[in-house]
Amino acid sequence: MDASDAILKDVQNKLEKLNVLDRIEERLVTMENDMTSIKEKVADLEKGLNSVNTEVAEMKQDIEKKADFEKLQMLESEVEELRNRSRRNNLVFYNVPEKAEGQNCAAFIQNFIVSHLGLEMEEVRSNGPIERRRIRLITA
């Protein structure tokens, strides 16, 4: 019986090893399933991340456009303020008929301002005639 006992023990050892191999195989199958699930989750996360990155890029562009627009509005406001300040000290003469000043409009207005108002002028310009009435606006 020694030979049959040895064969029986050898068969039992091999069965135990097969059982261990079966458990290892089951664990591998479980790990493969888990890996597949993890890969799917990672793919979903990547899609979500791409979507978020796209939204962030669009928001960034919107913010830059809004900042540019606000800067443009601010600059337009500053330009308008500077224009108004530059006009603040102007004298405007209305209803000066064409040719009333002779040949030199600028000299005529400067002489008038110096002699009647006692002011010195930097610049005198005519804004051109109004064709219908032949009366123009002069700014000094």
Give tens-digit pLDDT for 2-13: 888 889 999 999
Q: What domain range is 140 assigned to?
A: 89-140
In sequence order, what are the residues at sequence separation of 6 or more whose Cβ sits closer than 8 angstroms to the Cβ of residue 72?
none
Whole-prediction pTM: 0.41
Residues 15 and 77 occupy one common structural domain? yes
Residue 122 CA to residue 115 CA, distance in Å, equals 15
Closest CA to 92 of 109, 77, 79: 109
Residues 63 and 80 occupy one common structural domain? yes
Average pLDDT over residues 30-40: 96
Span 86-131, pLDDT tens digits: 777 777 777 766 666 667 777 777 788 888 887 777 777 666 554 5
Residues 60 and 7 occupy one common structural domain? yes
